Amino acid sequence: MKSIRYALMAAVAAASPTGWTAVPIDTETLRSAVTVEGVRSHQLAFQDFADANGGTRAATTVGYDASATYVAQMMLDAGYDVSIEPFDFPYFEEFSPAKLEQTAPVPRVYPYADISGFVTMTYSGGGNVTATATGVDLQLPPGADANNSTSGCEATDFAGFPVGNIAVIQRGSCSFQLKALNAENAGAVGVVIFNEGQPGRTDAFNGTLSDPVVGIPVVGAAFSVGEDLAAGGVMAKLSVDAVSEIRTTDNVIAETLGGRDDRVVVVGAHLDSVPEGPGIQDNGSGSAAILEIALQMAAMTTEPRNKVRFAWWGAEESGLQGSQAYVDGLTPREIKNIALNLNFDMIGSPNFVRFVYDGDGSATEAAGPNGSSNIEQVFLDYFAAQALPVEATAFDGRSDYGPFIAAGIPAGGLFTGAEDIKSEEEAALYGGIAGEQYDPCYHLACDTYDNISLQALDQMSDAAAHAIYTFAMTTSSINGTDKGSDKAKKAAEALEYLGNKLRR
């Protein structure tokens, strides 16, 4: 019943008193100027850049650089103060499915990306090795308590480890990176970290080594796979086709010349795609929308009361790297000067739902920092005035608002859905097809110019324009640099797994 409940909340929002006493801002002129045709022209440019450069706009590719140059030039021509801000980030890409086999004494092929098999760990090194599998300080059968195993956590665990073997290590009480580094330092040519074995901890798991510091292949496997390989006298083959390294890419930042610089409105959307495709919906939709809004704001020649800083983030798909680098580079005073962050990531999903981030935590488990509820209310009031139902979406740390929330900056924004499945209830409210993904081309090569709902893109672009101009022109402050409630703390805790590879 959540979506109906939230739709009703939106329907009465305009008539309900709120805790924010801002004078209403007339945004009709800007909304009328921001057309879906204008937004689509930028999406078409992004598609052209991808088509000319291997079908992708992933960070560090020529397709991404062309997109960044296009945005920067557009904003410079419109009169904004533009900067290109480079940053380093850990990059990982797997080019083909990994392989894990027992070659002797019983030949057996373990399934890749399957709960009964194994998964490549993020930031694994590449390699193709065949060697004897050797267990390292294992608890078989496992202990009664989870995270009890210390397998591979100490260098001394590898005393006598045969150089050139594949290390078979049990999941447990220390990081995957530490286990893998200890194995590599002991001369292992590959690492299989298998689940610990207690109830609920038997399946293969998708772990991360956190940084590209391990040079050998590392996978996370099911408990049964680990038992097989650790049985003694087992020969195994492990192959990972991947690159893991530090790369450099850019954020594009453009801000108004005027407006109060102690009440900055940061408007963000990630510009990069996944390597698999051009990313015209994810997130060519949000990137194109805020670009068109910025251009039309400049054409109005009305100086904002508050400085507006538009940001196109790089390497979001590698774990919110661009927005994180930006926030990490801010001084305490610069953080305090940011009034709020508005985030627009995927706003034209073909099988869409109109999602609004749940600033006050009333419909989800996590609220944003103080002031986020006021941002949410601006969107609710707007959609109620348009007689359009909306639904809450949680601050789960899976988009570029994450680093801002972690810094205590109020945040909000819009989203139309990714890989989750549309319910019958949502289909009744929003149209579309129940039982199918909101975006059937999420993170795939088919996320092209044609992968869009023009209705959603039009409606959400107007809503974004309304909120951006409202906060650009308001004389009321919503600034807050405290995480506030327990629900806000839950939102910050959710940021422990930043990354679009695991997101939405």
The catalytic residue positions are 316
Question: What are the backbone dihedrals phi and psi of residue 238, each rounded to the nearest 5 degrees, phi first?
Answer: -130, 125
Question: What's the CA angle centered on 477, arms 476 and 480, to 5 degrees?
Answer: 160
C-alpha torsion sign, points 20, 493, 60, 441: negative
Strand runs labelled E in 112-233 = 118-120, 127-136, 166-170, 190-194, 218-221
- CA dist 477 and 488 (Å) reads 19
- Chain centroid, CA 347 distance in Å: 14
- CA dist 213 and 215 (Å) reads 7
Q: Which tokens go with 35?
A: 């057309």
> Three-state secondary structure along 245-266?
EEEEEEEEEEECCCCEEEEEEE
Q: Pairing between strand 127-136 and 166-170?
A: parallel
- CA dist 447 and 380 (Å) reads 29
- Among 251, 279, 317, residue whose Cα is nearest residue 92: 317
- CA dist 387 and 13 (Å) reads 11
- Chain centroid, CA 345 distance in Å: 9
Question: What 8-state DSSP symbol labels residue 160?
Answer: T
Three-class secondary structure of residue 336 per DSSP: helix
- CA dist 493 and 486 (Å) reads 10
Close Cβ partners of 41 (under 8 Å, ≥ 6 residues apart):
288, 292
- CA dist 90 and 67 (Å) reads 21
- CA dist 291 and 215 (Å) reads 40
- CA dist 138 and 168 (Å) reads 9
User: Phi-psi region for residue 130, left (φ > 0), alpha (ψ -120 to 50) or beta?
Assistant: beta
